[in-house]
A and B are shown apart, each in its own frame.
Chain A
């Protein structure tokens, strides 16, 4: 088990290096730079500024220097928000994004799981078609459309919930829903089809032949097997939630990591963007590892080693 975790973390290093290199090069080839807004700056001052952040050196050299710093745990200072280091900004945004993301993911699992199971148990009923239609729309309609619609309806017309900002739990309701909906839709479909397949299997027939109650059969015999494809999907789901949070935090003006990412990209705040990219990539890698370990617990046939 420990060996498995260590091996997986070692494999993560080349992945992270590739991610860093790719984003670094892409970002630096994009036109513009961090000091464009300070137009009219004396050329000498501009030069000094650039050399202070090593921006005067060739990109490959910058990249190597950056990787060297990262290996020492230093993500550097933010160029635009001069009073903060990138690590400080990350730790400011993290609680917001984490609480948002975990809630959205839990909601997606719970709601998607229940809807999918219900649809599978009532296959080809009106409820089944309703769930599948909703789920299809959930997949098709992007969250940047869903979010404003939710805001308009619950925030503006009904005036029930705040439309933006960060404060109490009520501020989180709309963003969490907007973030979770596409995942609810995907998980419901996954859950439905795998549940239908499991319900047809021989061991479910055995369970019926034993005279067990339908509830027990679904919960104890079918669910642990039917949930496995959903667990496998958790990795992509987490990546989806992270991507979604970048958009949702912007729409609802939430001070999360995703918001800093957008701001950083607009300002060409290279260290900030790179720091967040590394953070997101690391989060996806660690979460995938956790998912695989969880999978091993649920399926006794898979021994994690």
Chain B
């Protein structure tokens, strides 16, 4: 079952800025298995998006990636743009955080979807629209013919996001990376989009990486979760293990800040607790554990010695000095 399809080793992402080097991702190693849904959580700025942009060669001009990201025996970071173009959009697809600005404003939806099939499956200009229509209809997007003739600004936010997802599914990819696919949407539309992803997981062989702030979404869809803090992995476990027995103080903080119906995690007043403080400045990171300044259970050595990421019981990996104590 656990056959890896994507493996990152020692992945780093650095940006050169006028104020110095920003290390958005540092020494990150993880695997995605075939048919699995891997959740990535962490606060804003923890490097979730840059990790996957780097894998697909989509970093901003001032960014460089180091390490390896292996897919089908080749290191994606070494590939030329031309080689990458045979993989991205076809075998690995990505849905972006911002569906509102992520679609080309002056192209009709049908053309934006169709060109993917033309690029990767050699379909002709006349054959592509029918295939696009088939998929859109299967995704139960109402009034598909009309929608495909529209420009992005004529569609609602939710509809745009579903078009994005459709675009990513056209070639039946091996891996779908969904970067906060529901963040900008209202709750009912969120549910529709999640339903779509859930169906995808159930009915296809596509492996999914789901980047999100929303731990509820992770609980519903994912098999495994990776928690990132300041560009590093701090904890990783199966969904159940992580939810019922979070080990890293940061993971606990994230869970405590999550609203629940049967609230037994928030503080005694029943209010949600936010993790106090701010994530560290990525330009000059503290020497020890990056979370130490905000950690409730901090020890002296946390400030000087970075806890290594180690394998724990079961599937868990953890980077914390404390563990063992709890």
Contacts of B119 in A (CB 8 A): 210-213, 216
Contacts of B85 in A (CB 8 A): 211-213
Interchain CB contact (< 8 A) of A212 among B60, B93, B115, B153: B115
Please tell me which stretch of A179-187, A260-268, A294-302 contacts chain B, meaning at least 4 of its Cβ atoms lie within 8 angstroms of it: A294-302
Contact B89 A225 (CB under 8 A): no
| A60 sits at the interface (CB 8 A) | no
Contacts of A300 in B (CB 8 A): 105-106, 151, 153
| B178 sits at the interface (CB 8 A) | no
Contact A202 B102 (CB under 8 A): yes
Contacts of A206 in B (CB 8 A): 96, 102-104, 164
- Min CB distance A7 to B, Å, is 25
Give residues of chain B (57-108) contacting chain A, Cβ–Cβ below 8 Å: 57-58, 60, 81, 84-90, 93-94, 96, 98, 101-107
| A171 sits at the interface (CB 8 A) | no
- Min CB distance B69 to A, Å, is 15
Beyond A210-B115, A210-B119, A300-B151, whether A203 also contacts B103 by CB under 8 A is: yes
Report how far A201 CA is from B102 CA in the complex, Å.
8
- Min CB distance B103 to A, Å, is 6
Residue of A nearest to B94 (CB): A209
Report how far A80 CA is from B74 CA in the complex, Å.
83
Report how far A216 CA is from B84 CA in the complex, Å.
16
Contact A216 B115 (CB under 8 A): yes
- Min CB distance A15 to B, Å, is 31
Interchain CB contact (< 8 A) of A203 among B84, B105, B116: B105
Q: How would residues 97 to 140 of chain B score, 1 for a CB under 8 Å from any chain A CB and 0 otherwise?
A: 01001111111000000011001100000000000000000000
| A224 sits at the interface (CB 8 A) | yes
Contact A211 B89 (CB under 8 A): yes
Interface size class of A (residues with CB under 8 A): 20 to 34
- Min CB distance A228 to B, Å, is 9
Report how far A220 CA is from B106 CA in the complex, Å.
9
Contacts of A224 in B (CB 8 A): 106
| A214 sits at the interface (CB 8 A) | yes
| B167 sits at the interface (CB 8 A) | yes
Interchain CB contact (< 8 A) of B116 among A205, A210, A213: A210
| A207 sits at the interface (CB 8 A) | yes
Interchain CB contact (< 8 A) of B101 among A203, A210, A214: A203
Residue of B nearest to A299 (CB): B106
Contact B151 A202 (CB under 8 A): no
Residue of A nearest to B108 (CB): A300
Contact A209 B104 (CB under 8 A): no
Contact A205 B58 (CB under 8 A): yes
Number of interface residues of B (CB under 8 A): 32
Beyond A202-B101, A210-B88, A211-B119, whether A298 also contacts B96 by CB under 8 A is: no
Contact B88 A301 (CB under 8 A): no
| B56 sits at the interface (CB 8 A) | yes
Report how far A216 CA is from B81 CA in the complex, Å.
14
Residue of B nearest to A206 (CB): B102
Q: How would residues 270 to 300 of chain A score, 1 for a CB under 8 Å from any chain B CB and 0 otherwise?
A: 0000000000000000000000000000111
Contact B116 A214 (CB under 8 A): no
| A122 sits at the interface (CB 8 A) | no
| A208 sits at the interface (CB 8 A) | yes
| A50 sits at the interface (CB 8 A) | no
Give residues of chain B (4-27) contacting chain A, Cβ–Cβ below 8 Å: none
Contact A211 B58 (CB under 8 A): no
Beyond A210-B119, A211-B120, whether A203 also contacts B102 by CB under 8 A is: yes
- Min CB distance B251 to A, Å, is 30
Contact B89 A220 (CB under 8 A): no
| A103 sits at the interface (CB 8 A) | no
Contact A211 B86 (CB under 8 A): yes
Beyond A202-B96, A220-B107, A301-B153, whether A208 also contacts B102 by CB under 8 A is: no
- Min CB distance A226 to B, Å, is 11
Residue of A nearest to B98 (CB): A202
Contact B56 A209 (CB under 8 A): yes
- Min CB distance B209 to A, Å, is 14
- Min CB distance B115 to A, Å, is 6
Report how far A200 CA is from B115 CA in the complex, Å.
21
Beyond A202-B98, A205-B58, A300-B153, whether A212 also contacts B103 by CB under 8 A is: no
Report how far A298 CA is from B53 CA in the complex, Å.
31
Listed residue (A203, A206, A211, A213) with the most chain B CB atoms within 10 angstroms of its CB: A211
Shortest Cβ-Cβ A-B pairs, 5 listed: A211-B89, A210-B89, A211-B85, A202-B101, A300-B151
20 contacts between A and B (CB under 8 A): A201-B101, A203-B101, A206-B104, A206-B164, A208-B88, A209-B56, A209-B89, A210-B115, A211-B84, A211-B89, A211-B116, A211-B119, A212-B115, A212-B119, A214-B81, A220-B107, A224-B106, A298-B106, A300-B153, A301-B105
Where the two chains meet, the residues of A that have a C-beta atom closer than 8 Å to any C-beta of B are 200-203, 205-214, 216, 220-221, 224-225, 298-301
- 15 further A-B contacts with Cβ under 8 Å, apart from A208-B88, A209-B88, are A200-B60, A203-B102, A203-B103, A205-B53, A206-B102, A206-B104, A211-B85, A211-B89, A212-B119, A221-B107, A224-B106, A225-B106, A298-B106, A300-B106, A300-B153
